[in-house]
């Protein structure tokens, strides 16, 4: 790189500068990410409750106990259902909104600005506002419209609480995917549509054969980000139901928190966290594999 003044001293000094440049981040990351992670793994092999001075190593007993525990299985099942529904709804709704926005000319900037607002708000604020709405407003609307399942609080019913949280997540979570889909739609050359129309292709055929292939990269991204947010949902649940009613909305993230902070099951809590890590890892590898395959097919 420095062919000019072949000065060995300088090359050596430059090497050091380049290493120094990385040190602040490397130190912080090692101290506050790697060490806690390794410590966590170690504690997950012990019976430590987080407070007492004595503990002993018990191997993988925590993991076995956790997997046997119905509360854990309930939490995993909650996350998987939640994630699948979140991905489906966010993809469909934001794609529809993006296609509608793409067609509008009047007021389109205004529409776009407002549709993006939820993305800038904190999840807690949104959750707390909807929490009030679910208790005070939605039941009133339900009674007026004579819809039975809406007439009492959705969050108070174990059967509907998850869907209420999901609705709030979708309300906020569609903003960014909508902008992404919109950018994807605008990348499709209009000549292609014109040519296809001349060739007699119907609306559905144009959508399937022109729009969708252009959207596949965006689609992959949206799916991956939503999978991650579905598997690690925390803020909404903590602010709205705190896992209740019963354990109906106890997601894995919340279970980890409660075990460690409220129930003195410190080492088990980390075992749950490690299992979550493995699940997230497997799911992301599988989705990355399948989506990159599709990308090749889609061209």
Residue ranges in 144-163 that form contacts with another protein under rule CB under 8 A: none
Is residue 194 at the binding interface for another protein, with CB under 8 A as the rule? no
Q: Which is nearer to another protein, 162 or 180 (CB)?
A: 180
Q: Give the nearest distance from C-beta 223 to another protein in angstroms.
A: 12
Is residue 115 at the binding interface for another protein, with CB under 8 A as the rule? yes
**What secondary structure, in 3-state letters, does 141-192 show?**
HHHHHCCHHHCCCHHHCCCCHHHHHHHHHHHHHCHHHHHHHHHHHHCCCHHH
CA angle 276, 286, 33 (to 5 degrees): 40
Restricting to residues 29-68, which ones interact with another protein according to CB under 8 A? 29, 31-33, 35-37, 39-40, 43, 50
* Local structure of 46: helix, strand or coil: strand
Q: From the list 49, 67, 74, 118, which residue makes contact with another protein (rule: CB under 8 A)? A: 118
Q: Which is nearer to another protein, 15 or 289 (CB)?
A: 15
Give the position of tokens 């004579």: 146
Cα dihedral angle (82, 83, 86, 88), rounded to 10 degrees?
Answer: -120
Q: Which is nearer to another protein, 278 or 296 (CB)?
A: 278
Which residues are CB-contacts of 109 (< 8 A; sequence separation ≥ 6)? Answer: none
Is residue 185 at the binding interface for another protein, with CB under 8 A as the rule? no
Cα dihedral angle (274, 276, 282, 286), rounded to 10 degrees?
Answer: -160
Assess contact for 169 and 236: CB atoms under 8 A: yes
Q: From the list 67, 85, 100, 216, which residue makes contact with another protein (rule: CB under 8 A)? A: 100
Assess contact for 127 and 168: CB atoms under 8 A: yes
Q: From the list 231, 237, 241, 249, which residue makes contact with another protein (rule: CB under 8 A)? A: 231
Is residue 276 at the binding interface for another protein, with CB under 8 A as the rule? yes
Q: Which is nearer to another protein, 101 or 248 (CB)?
A: 101
Q: Give the nearest distance from C-beta 297 to another protein in angstroms.
A: 21
Q: Which is nearer to another protein, 18 or 296 (CB)?
A: 18
Q: Give the nearest distance from C-beta 15 to another protein in angstroms.
A: 8
Is residue 292 at the binding interface for another protein, with CB under 8 A as the rule? no
Is residue 140 at the binding interface for another protein, with CB under 8 A as the rule? yes
Q: Which is nearer to another protein, 132 or 159 (CB)?
A: 132
Query: 158 phi and psi, to 5 degrees?
Result: -55, -30
Beta-ladder partners of 46:
57
């Amino acid at each position: 790189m420095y062919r000019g003044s072949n000065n060995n001293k300088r090359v050596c000094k430059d090497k050091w500068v380049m290493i120094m440049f990385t040190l602040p981040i490397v130190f912080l990351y090692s101290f506050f990410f790697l060490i806690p992670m390794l410590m966590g793994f170690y504690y997950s092999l012990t019976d430590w409750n987080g407070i007492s001075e004595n503990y002993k190593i018990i191997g993988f007993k925590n993991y076995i106990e956790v997997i046997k525990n119905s509360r854990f299985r309930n939490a995993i099942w909650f996350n998987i259902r939640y994630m699948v529904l979140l991905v489906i709804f966010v993809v469909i709704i934001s794609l529809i909104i993006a296609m509608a926005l793409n067609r509008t000319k009047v007021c389109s900037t205004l529409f776009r600005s407002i549709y993006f607002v939820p993305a800038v708000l904190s999840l807690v604020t949104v959750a707390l506002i909807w929490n009030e709405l679910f208790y005070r407003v939605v039941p009133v609307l339900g009674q007026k419209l004579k819809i039975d399942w809406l007439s009492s609080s959705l969050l108070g019913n174990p059967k509907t609480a998850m869907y209420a949280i999901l609705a709030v997540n979708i309300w906020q979570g569609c903003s960014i995917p909508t902008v992404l889909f919109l950018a994807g739609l605008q990348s499709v050359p209009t000549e292609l549509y014109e040519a296809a129309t001349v060739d007699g292709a119907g609306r559905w055929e144009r959508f399937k054969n022109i729009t969708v292939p252009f959207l596949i990269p965006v689609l992959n991204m949206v799916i991956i980000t939503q999978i991650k947010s579905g598997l690690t949902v925390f803020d909404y649940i903590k602010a709205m139901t705190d896992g209740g009613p019963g354990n109906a909305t106890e997601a894995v993230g919340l279970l980890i928190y409660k075990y460690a902070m409220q129930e003195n099951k410190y080492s088990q809590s980390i075992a749950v966290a490690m299992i979550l890590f493995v699940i997230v890892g497997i799911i992301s590898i599988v989705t990355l594999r399948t989506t990159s395959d599709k990308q090749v097919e889609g061209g």
